[in-house]
Amino acid sequence: MYSKTASKRYAKALIESATEGNKLEETYSEINSVNNLLINSRELSDYLLNPTISKDDKGNLIIKIIGDSHPNIINLIHLLTINNRIDQLENIAESFNALYSKRQGIIEASITSAVPISIDLEEEVVKYLASIKKGKINLKKKIDKKIIAGFVLDFDDIQFDASAKKKLNKMQKQLTRNN
């Protein structure tokens, strides 16, 4: 089993190399492009994960596809492919993006609701986060009908759960304890 720790190590090495080479923006763009390519191309992912295909053939295909990319990206993808870890690129890209955001002073936050949130609520949440955190706020919106109503706000290591699901679970626990 592959650990998140290893993903973070790959991401840290990549961001340090990109920073030293003054190619951070280029690397950020390319790691996400390659990651999206693998996510959106099932055939390519299956080919790279196929144990019956030689590592040389996989490496040659990668060079054909991303040959114009920065050498850091080519080396990373090649290394992941020959070590049969290409399926971990998504975790590595996620870790890289978190490190990138931190270096750029961007606060990553997400709000999950049962229905799409209004623009007014989105602006209010961003304004609130900006009042307690320094930096640009990048708010991602997610829909999850399981929370029934309300919202769950995540940023840094903080979660504010104002969902109906949480309140119903809390009431259920209280009723169970009382009976």
pLDDT band at 9; cut points 50, 70, 90? very high
What's the CATH number where 160 sits? 3.30.360
- Write down which residue in 101, 119, 147 finishes a domain: 101
Is 9 in the same domain as 67? Answer: yes
- Write down which residue in 86, 101, 116 finishes a domain: 101
Give pLDDT tens digits for 132-161.
Answer: 888 888 888 999 999 888 889 988 778 888
User: Are 112 and 152 in contact, with CB atoms under 8 Å apart?
Assistant: yes
pLDDT for residue 19: 92
Count helices and strands in the chain by DSSP H and E runs: 8, 4
- Write down which residue in 101, 134, 164 finishes a domain: 101
pLDDT band at 1; cut points 50, 70, 90? very low
Q: Residue 3: is its pLDDT beyond 70?
A: no
Q: Which domain holds residue 45?
A: 4-101
Is 119 in the same domain as 166? Answer: yes
By C-alpha distance, which of 156, 152, 58, 149 is closest to 102?
A: 156
**Number of domains forming the structure of the chain:** 2
pLDDT for residue 96: 94
Is 31 in the same domain as 50? Answer: yes
